[in-house]
Structure formats: structure tokens, C-alpha cells
Amino acid sequence: MVLPFNALVVIPALFLYFGGYKFALPSRLFFALGIIFFLSGAFLFIWTLVLFEKVGKGTLAPWSPTQNLVVKGPYCFVRNPMLSGVLAMLAGESLMLGSVQIFAWAVLFFVINTFYFIFVEEKGLSKRFGVDYALYKKSVPRWIPRLSKWQLPSDSSGKGD
């Protein structure tokens, strides 16, 4: 939980502090949208954490990775729903606080994680889950969700179950 806490609380607070942020409530519409984004993102993030523990038998921490490929729930539609949840929460914070600084952090966070996923995480998942992950990667988009649910074929090695 250290990584999400830093991404959602510590770093935005630093951006606000050093960016000269002056607190002012945004319009009711932006505040309401911010709450919707934040709560939706929190729900998605918590759902993915539960799936990591129950299905994957691991955590989001690199020192305790999942033992099984998680292709259930939102992972049937998009490969990185956990990060989508964090980004939605950052967007919600930005809207609720009327903060361009937090929006800038959300964009930077997305870019950093995109490079990390492409050059580090996906290579590690390929090594750990082999053919199952290759098929999943080919079938399920990284960021833009599929319109239909994807399932690992039953004739696969079974590591994704």
C-alpha cells in the first residue's frame, strides 16, 4: 500500500505545496465529478487488489508477486485496471481540488507507468506465465478496454485459472 499512498497522497501534496496551490472550492459540477471519479477509481483499485490476493495468490508489491495470472473481473477487459483505478482517483482529486498540479502529476504518472509496464512488467509477466501471458497480451489491450469479456482458453496450460 506504500506505492498507492505515495502516488495518491504524498506526491500530490508535494505538487500542491511546491506549485503554489491556493485552495478554492471548484464548481459543484467539478466537485461532484471528482467524487464520482475518485470513488469509481477506489472501487476498481480495491477490486483488483482482492483479485491479486484471491486469484493471483500474491500482491501488487514486486517482492510478493502473484503466483497465478489474473484474468478475471476487470482483467478480462483491460490489462492494467489497477492503474486505471489510481488514475481515476488522481483525476478525481484534481477535479475536487481544482488542481492543475494534480492533473499534471496524473499525466506524468501515466507516462512513467506506461514505460514501466512496457519495458519491465510485461517482460517479467512473459517470463513467469509464458504462453498464457502471450495470448492474454495479444487479446486484451493495455489501456483501452475491450467491449467483450476475454477468457483464457481452457486448453491452455492452466496457469491462468
Higher pLDDT, 23 or 141: 141
**What's the pLDDT at 63?**
79
How sure is the predictor about 23, in pLDDT bands with cuts at 50, 70 and 90?
confident
Decide if 110 is inside a domain.
Answer: yes
Q: Say if 161 falls within a structural domain.
A: no
Mean pLDDT of the chain: 90
- Give yes or no for residue 161 having a pLDDT over 70: no
For residue 30, the Cα-to-chain-centroid distance in whole angstroms is 22
When divided into structural domains, the chain yields a total of: 1
**pLDDT at residue 158 greater than cutoff 70:** no
Within a domain: 14? yes
pLDDT-based confidence at residue 156 (cuts at 50, 70, 90) = low
Look up the domain containing 18 and give its range: 2-139
- Measured CA to CA, the distance from residue 136 to residue 149 in angstroms comes to 12
Give a yes or no: residue 79 inside a domain.
Answer: yes
153 within some domain: no
Asked whether residue 26 is domain-assigned, the answer is: yes
In this predicted structure, what is the pLDDT of residue 1? 67
Question: Cell 494534480, residue?
Answer: 102
Residue 86 lies in a domain: yes
pLDDT band at 3 (very low <50, low <70, confident <90, very high): confident
Most confident of 3-7, 16-20, 48-52, 156-160: 48-52
Which stretches of 63-148 are DSSP H helices?
A: 81-97, 100-116, 122-139
pLDDT at 105 over 80: yes
> Does residue 158 come out as left (phi exceeding 0), alpha (psi in the -120 to 50 range) or beta?
left
Average pLDDT over residues 66-81: 95
- Indicate whether 155 belongs to any domain: no
Confidence of residue 88 (pLDDT cuts 50, 70, 90): very high
> Who has greater pLDDT, 153 or 91?
91
